[in-house]
Amino acid sequence: MSKILVLPGDGIGNEIMAEAAKLFTAIEQVFGFQCEFERGLIGGIAVDETGTPLPDQTVELAKQADAVLLGAVGGPKWDNLERHLRPERGLLGMRSALGLFANLRPAILFPQLAAASTLKEEIVAGLDILIIRELTGGIYFGEPRGERKENGKRIGFNTMVYGEDEIVRILEAGFEAARKRGGRLCSVDKANVLDVSGLWREVAIEMGEKNPDVELSHMYVDNAAMQLVRAPKQFDVMVTGNLFGDILSDCAAMLTGSIGMLPSASLNEAGAGMYEPVHGSAPDIAGTDQANPLATLLSMAMMFRHSLSRADIGDAIETAVSSVLDQGLRTGDIFTDGTQKVGTVQMGDAVVAALQGAG
């Protein structure tokens, strides 16, 4: 039986995770798919209850699980703690404890929400791209790093470094994802300036020769940023390093208009993963039944596809979400005139009903 670790975290985490729990129950009824659940602490609540944002027990449970479903962490209550106690440290700790090197961020714009984007409808309607970001290397972890003084002036420095194996590993994830989608992979680098990107591109070209079934292209990161807002539908899968991916994935996310709709997956070499909505803990609306649960439910869809080998259940969740949008139901963040405003619970119930109706 698949083991899932549920980590609600802080703020709206509990509310969105309650909707996920209802959907798991419905999936069991409709598909007969049973999971074993554990619950753990992470983030601010873990600081309050155990004195650390990532208790050892949570790491142990995560290592035993096939997948981790996370709500969100953080909030004003913990903003002034020392850096090592901050809730976000819990997330970084999980990434390194589980070796989550590949971050998958789809930017999908449901056609029903095309008006919510800041871009013209014809540019974004039907958008469906996937950004794969390397998550455990590059300039965020490279050594040496720090601050020193030279001639009485301060200098800050970091090192952008990638080993061949790290590049191969993340590009393999890119080729595999492209193969399951539209068959096109764009590798993003800055090979015209950076030596580390020069190696990245060399390795990508070598791998492209070994994966002729995928159409590989290369793009400089500055051009990629421009193309993402000019004509985003030209892309299928983009793969890039940690820093470039951080920026490009947020840019792509915003093409879709609402942070409440965006799922993500972070995978390790064994195929286990951590799944979480892209948004944070939204302390401004926590406890008011206003949070959009769809990013979390779509993260569950990714979990079924990538870690539980049940792409059919992933598809069913996405279809259920789409059908609820067709019914005109909207939480406040995606509400537009002429649609029906609902709360977190009602939105979750509607997705469950749509899934049951289809089953």
Task: Tell me which residues touch ligand NAD (CB under 6 A).
Answer: 12, 72-75, 88, 91, 259-260, 276, 279-285, 291-292, 295, 331, 333
Distance CA(326)–CA(66), nearest Å, equals 33
**273-277 vs 67-72, strand pairing mode:** parallel
Instruction: Give min distance, CB of 107 to ligand NAD, in A.
Output: 16
Instruction: Kindly calculate the radius of gyration of the chain based on its CA atoms and give it in whole angstroms.
Output: 20
Q: Residue 235 CB: number of other CB atoms within 10 A?
A: 24
Report CA-CA distances (Å) from 349 to 19, 263, 322: 8, 19, 14
- Closer to ligand NAD by CB, 136 or 187: give it: 136
- Closer to ligand NAD by CB, 12 or 129: give it: 12
Instruction: Give min distance, CB of 200 to ligand NAD, in A.
Output: 27
Helices (H), the chain: 13-31, 44-50, 56-64, 87-98, 121-124, 164-180, 195-210, 221-230, 242-255, 294-306, 311-326, 344-358
- Closer to ligand NAD by CB, 197 or 299: give it: 299
* DSSP helix/strand/coil, 58: helix
Catalytic residues: 140, 190, 222, 246, 250
Comparing C-alpha atoms, which of 202, 90, 199 is closest to residue 137? 199
Instruction: Give min distance, CB of 236 to ligand NAD, in A.
Output: 26
Instruction: Give min distance, CB of 264 to ligand NAD, in A.
Output: 8
- Closer to ligand NAD by CB, 81 or 161: give it: 81
Strand order across the beta sheet in which 102-108 lies:
35-39, 2-9, 67-72, 273-277, 263-267, 102-108, 128-134, 237-240, 184-189, 215-220
Q: Which helix (H) or strand (E) holds 264?
A: strand 263-267
Residue 152 token pair: 């009485």
Instruction: Give min distance, CB of 334 to ligand NAD, in A.
Output: 8
